[in-house]
């Protein structure tokens, strides 16, 4: 089966995996900054715990200064197979990696894989979440939102701090509402439960989960976070 030419990732789990590979391979990374000035260097590190990646400085001090003063930069990294990974990074800061100077950025919220020289410009929503009535088939149904689903059936669940669950908790018959009003029903096992602050300042619980038995509609859920753009309807 031919590999899709354009894949858009909004899954945090998948983006972390891809960024780790790019950093391990010390991939070449390029950008156009401030009126088209070219920047080129390579990836040097990625830290999923802090949510940052770092790149080396280019040989040109003026270009480096422009990069550091840019609030957001669209980078393209190229891996050893020649695939291109395009993403927008923000919050540049000077740092050191292994005693060497580097430039650090916040990890991207979305990432596009493409093997064409030109890649489609896709407007990416800043937030994607699916309403989920968790444990509807169990004893304590509660409202939640799914903010991530990866290829291997892992995901992320956000729910109210009034709900107290521990790692390993089983949620039965969770009903996930997908666009169009349809629902996907599946059992989940929670892992890595933690308290987090949402963008609006409120506190919530966030838990990683895995589907105990992958639902028949798993491909549809994954497709909301990982889109094969070549299969999307073409716009005129």
Q: What would the mean pLDDT of 159-165 be, rounded to a whole number?
A: 94
If one looks up domain 6-114 in CATH, what number appears?
Answer: 2.30.110.10
Determine the average pLDDT of the residues in 213-222: 87
**Own/partner pairs, 53-59, CB within 8 angstroms, 24+ separation:** 53/19, 53/22, 53/23, 53/89, 53/104, 53/105, 53/107, 54/95, 54/97, 54/102, 54/103, 54/104, 54/105, 55/29, 55/102, 55/103, 55/105, 56/100, 56/102, 56/103, 57/101, 57/102, 57/103
Instruction: Report the pLDDT averaged over residues 47-52.
Output: 93
pLDDT in tens, 127-145: 688 999 999 998 889 999 9
Banded pLDDT at 86 (limits 50, 70, 90): very high
Domain extents for the chain?
6-114, 130-227
Residue 236's pLDDT band (boundaries 50, 70, 90)?
Answer: very low
- The overall average pLDDT reported for the chain is 89
CATH superfamily of 130-227: predicted glycosyltransferase like domains (2.40.10.220)
Q: Quote the pLDDT of residue 1.
A: 41
What are the pLDDT digits (tens) for 102-127? 999 999 999 999 876 566 666 555 56
């Amino acid at each position: 089966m031919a590999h899709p030419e354009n894949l858009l990732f909004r899954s945090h789990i998948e983006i972390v995996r891809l960024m780790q590979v790019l950093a391990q391979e010390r991939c070449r990374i390029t950008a156009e900054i401030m009126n088209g000035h070219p920047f080129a260097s390579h990836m040097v590190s990625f830290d999923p715990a802090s949510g940052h990646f770092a790149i080396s400085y280019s040989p040109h001090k003026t270009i480096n200064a422009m990069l550091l003063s840019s609030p957001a930069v669209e980078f393209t990294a190229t891996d050893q197979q020649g695939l291109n990974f395009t993403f927008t990074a923000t919050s540049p800061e000077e740092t050191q990696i292994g005693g060497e100077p580097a430039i650090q950025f916040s990890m991207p919220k979305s990432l596009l894989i493409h093997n064409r020289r030109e890649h489609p410009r896709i407007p990416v929503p800043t937030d994607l979440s699916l309403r989920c009535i968790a444990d509807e088939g169990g004893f304590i149904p509660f409202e939640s939102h799914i903010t991530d689903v990866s290829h291997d059936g892992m995901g992320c669940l956000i729910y109210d701090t009034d709900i107290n669950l521990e790692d390993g908790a089983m949620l039965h018959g969770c009903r996930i509402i997908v666009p169009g009003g349809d629902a996907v029903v599946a059992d989940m096992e929670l892992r890595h439960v933690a308290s987090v602050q949402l963008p609006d300042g409120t506190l919530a619980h966030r838990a990683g989960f895995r589907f105990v038995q992958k639902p028949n509609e798993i491909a549809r859920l994954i497709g909301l976070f990982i889109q094969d753009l070549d299969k999307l309807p073409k716009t005129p």
